[in-house]
Amino acid sequence: MRTQFGLGLTTAAIAAALGLAACDQRNDAARSGDTSTATSPTTGASQKMAAATDKMTAAVDDSALTAKVKAALLAEPGLRSAQISVDTKNAAVTLSGSVDSATSKDRAKEIASSVAGVTTVVDQLSVKS
């Protein structure tokens, strides 16, 4: 038991020392005072993190728009039974599936375009014959 504790403590101390040593390392240009070629290692990481955050935000916004459009379509009495699929990409909503009439098709497009945040509606709906 005592040996395991000592081994764990030693491992933790080595890991901490390596971590601190890695934090202390700098670009040679930065040490010499030449900042024209020095780069911050966090700049690239920050840019990647910002890009990932933007993608995640867009995905969440698209999901929210999809949910809002679906809810609006289901709230419309004439469209409740229609089989309409909603897909959203960059605030552009695509409606697909089938509806009973041309009037229902037009109404579905109208409802989708009236949802706040929707920029365009792509109509791929077909009218049942």
pLDDT computed for residue 34 by the predictor: 53
pLDDT, tens only, 11-58: 665 655 555 555 555 544 455 555 555 555 667 777 777 776 766 666
> 81 pLDDT band (50/70/90 cuts)?
confident
**Average pLDDT over the chain, rounded to whole?**
77
* φ, ψ at 43 (rounded to 5°): -60, -50
Whether the model pTM is above 0.75: no
Nearest CA-CA partner of 74 in 115, 124, 120: 115
pLDDT computed for residue 44 by the predictor: 74
Complete domains list, the chain, with CATH: 56-129 (3.30.1340.30)
DSSP 2: H
